[in-house]
C-alpha cells in the first residue's frame, strides 16, 4: 500500500512538472509571436452617460459618438445605469467628474436635478454637453438633440390629419419626471387642442420599458374601452402598445403613433400595426456631440443649441436613408 502511494506521488509530481514546463514554453511562444502593442495615444478623454445603457436608441447615440471618437483620437467611455435609474445616472456623472475627464456628455433628464449638478461639474472646469434632453438654464456649453416640443407637436398634427380630427387618445410616456417627455406630451396636446373631436382620455408612464408599456396598454383598454388611438412618447412605448393591440386583434380599429424607429418598430410599421412614428437622429446626436466638444476644447465657438432633424414617417417612407440613425448593431 505504502509503495503504491509513493508511486502515485511520484507520478503526480512528474505530470505537474511536465505541464508547467509545457505551458511556460507555450506562453513564451505566444509572447514571441504577438507584436508589441503600440502605445495608444488619445488627445482627449470623454464620458457619455445615458439614462439606460442597453437601450437600442442609446446604442445608436453611442455608435455615432464612438465613430467620431475614433476619427479624432478621443478615448470615449459609455457608462451609466444598465436599466433606467436616475440615482445611478447622477452617481455616474459625479464619479466621472471626480476623475477629471476632459468633457462630459449626458442626457439631462430633469432640470431640477441636472441644472445644479451640471453647474457643479462646470465649476470644476469640465465642460458638459447635453444630448437628447436639455437643461437649458444650466451652464452646459451646448445641447444637441431633437426639439422635443416640436416633435410632440408634429405627432399631434399627424394623428389629427390621419384620423380626420376625431379620436379618443391614450398617451403612454417614458417617464412623468423627464423634461423631454413632458415637452413631447405638451406639444402633442397643443397640436390637437383645436380639434373638438380629439380627446386625450388618459396618460400613463412606462418607465421606458416595453413590458410596462404593454401592461399599461392592457389596463387602458380595460378601463377606457372608448380609446381608439395611442401615442407612445419614447422609443419602447410604441412597441409595447403594438404588442397588446396585435394580441387582441385590434389593429384595424386602433391607430398607433410611436416614437423612434428601432427594428421592432419597423416590423410593426410594415405589418400595419403601427401607423406612424416620429423619427429622431440618435446616431447624428452622438457623432456631432463629440465634434462639438472637441471644437470647444480647441477654443472655437460652438452653437449653444443644435436641433437634429425630426419628422413623422409612415410605412411608405421605408427604408429610411441614411440607415445609421436606426440600424441597431451591437458593438
Which residues in 240-259 contact ligand BGC (CB under 6 A)? 259
Residue with Cβ nearer ligand BGC (93 or 236): 236
Strand 311-314 to 276-279 pairing: antiparallel
Q: How far apart are CA 60 and CA 208, in angstroms?
A: 16
195 DSSP assignment: -
The 112-131 site mask, x for binding ligand BGC (CB under 6 A), equals: --------------------
Choose the binding region for ligand BGC from 19-27, 50-58, 89-97, 194-202 (rule: CB under 6 A): 50-58
Give bridge partners of residue 48 from the DSSP assignment: 78, 105
Residue whose cell numbers read 445605469 = 81
Q: Is 110 in the site for ligand BGC (CB under 6 A)?
A: no
Choose the binding region for ligand BGC from 12-20, 27-35, 52-60, 216-224 (rule: CB under 6 A): 52-60
Q: Which of 234, 254, 258, 325 binds ligand BGC (CB under 6 A)?
A: 234
Q: Which of 44, 46, 48, 51 binds ligand BGC (CB under 6 A)?
A: 51
Are the C-beta atoms of 173 and 203 separated by less than 8 Å? yes
Nearest approach in angstroms of CB 206 to ligand BGC is 9
b/e per residue, 46-75, with b = 16+ CB within 10 A? bbbbbbbbebbbbbbbbbbbbbbbeeeebe
First to last CA, the chain: 60
User: How far out from the chain centre does Cα 19 lie?
Assistant: 49
Q: Is 217 in the site for ligand BGC (CB under 6 A)?
A: no
Count, residues near ligand BGC per rule CB under 6 A = 15
Output the furthest CA–CA distance in the chain (Å, rounded): 100
Q: Is 212 in the site for ligand BGC (CB under 6 A)?
A: no
Cell numbers given for 216: 399599461
Binding positions for ligand BGC, rule: CB under 6 A: 51-52, 55, 57, 107, 132-133, 174, 180, 208, 234-236, 259-260
Amino acid at each position: 500500500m505504502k509503495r503504491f502511494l509513493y508511486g502515485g506521488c511520484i507520478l503526480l509530481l512528474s505530470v505537474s512538472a511536465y505541464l508547467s514546463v509545457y505551458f511556460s514554453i507555450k506562453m513564451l511562444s505566444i509572447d514571441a509571436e504577438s507584436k508589441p502593442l503600440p502605445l495608444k495615444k488619445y488627445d482627449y478623454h470623454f464620458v457619455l452617460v445615458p439614462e439606460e445603457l442597453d437601450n437600442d436608441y442609446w446604442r445608436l447615440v453611442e455608435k455615432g459618438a464612438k465613430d467620431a471618437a475614433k476619427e479624432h483620437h478621443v478615448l470615449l467611455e459609455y457608462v451609466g445605469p444598465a436599466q433606467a435609474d436616475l440615482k445611478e445616472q447622477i452617481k455616474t456623472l459625479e464619479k466621472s467628474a471626480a476623475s477629471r475627464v476632459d468633457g462630459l456628455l449626458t442626457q439631462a433628464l430633469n432640470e431640477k436635478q441636472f441644472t445644479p449638478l451640471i453647474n457643479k461639474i462646470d465649476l470644476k472646469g469640465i465642460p458638459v454637453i447635453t444630448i437628447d434632453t436639455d437643461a437649458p438654464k444650466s451652464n452646459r456649453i451646448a445641447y444637441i438633440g431633437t426639439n422635443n416640443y416640436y416633435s410632440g407637436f408634429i405627432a399631434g398634427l399627424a394623428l389629427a390629419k390621419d384620423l380626420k380630427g376625431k379620436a379618443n387618445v391614450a398617451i403612454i410616456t417614458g417617464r412623468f419626471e423627464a423634461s423631454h417627455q413632458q415637452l413631447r406630451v405638451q406639444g402633442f396636446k397643443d397640436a390637437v387642442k383645436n380639434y373638438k373631436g380629439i380627446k386625450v382620455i388618459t396618460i400613463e408612464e412606462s418607465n421606458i420599458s416595453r413590458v410596462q408599456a404593454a401592461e399599461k396598454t392592457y389596463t387602458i383598454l380595460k378601463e377606457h374601452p372608448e380609446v381608439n388611438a395611442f401615442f407612445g412618447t419614447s422609443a419602447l412605448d410604441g412597441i409595447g402598445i403594438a404588442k397588446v393591440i396585435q394580441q387582441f386583434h385590434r389593429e384595424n380599429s386602433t391607430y398607433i403613433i410611436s416614437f423612434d424607429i428601432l427594428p421592432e418598430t419597423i416590423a410593426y410599421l410594415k405589418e400595419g400595426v403601427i401607423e406612424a412614428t416620429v423619427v429622431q437622429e440618435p446616431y447624428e446626436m452622438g457623432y456631432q456631440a463629440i465634434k462639438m466638444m472637441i471644437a470647444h476644447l480647441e477654443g472655437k465657438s460652438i452653437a449653444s443649441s443644435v436641433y437634429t432633424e425630426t419628422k413623422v414617417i409612415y410605412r411608405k417612407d421605408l427604408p429610411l436613408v441614411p440607415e445609421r440613425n436606426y440600424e441597431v448593431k451591437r458593438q
